[in-house]
Amino acid sequence: MTSRKRFVTAAAASVSVLLATPALGQTTAAPSPIPSPSPSVKPVSKVSESARALALQMRTFDPALTDRDIETIAAGIDGNLKVGKAINRKGRALKNWDEPVTRFEVKR
């Protein structure tokens, strides 16, 4: 048990040290502004505003994403939500202890 505690303590300490120290050679600069969507770009398909807002957050990871890319990502998010609703029609959430039924049978 003490080895687990030591491991968790060492892992937490190393993460906090990595987060506390800036990367070598990295300068702090003002973040680049997020490009505004141009009105000439037509959406790929009708997507929800929440999916579009979530897709716009992807620009924090890749500022070079075009408006067309954002619309494609938003359409993918909406598509995944539609598939999820089709699979889980009753909208039941799985609990942490839910698991598939496993049956083992030996035939002679």
Task: Give residue 106's Cα distance to chain centre.
Answer: 43
pLDDT digits over 57-75, tens only?
A: 999 999 999 999 999 999 9
The pTM assigned to this predicted structure is 0.46
- Contacting residues for 66 by C-beta, under 8 A, at least 6 apart: 41
Query: How big is the chain by its Cα radius of gyration, in Å?
Result: 23
pLDDT digits over 14-46, tens only?
A: 655 445 555 545 555 566 666 665 555 554 458
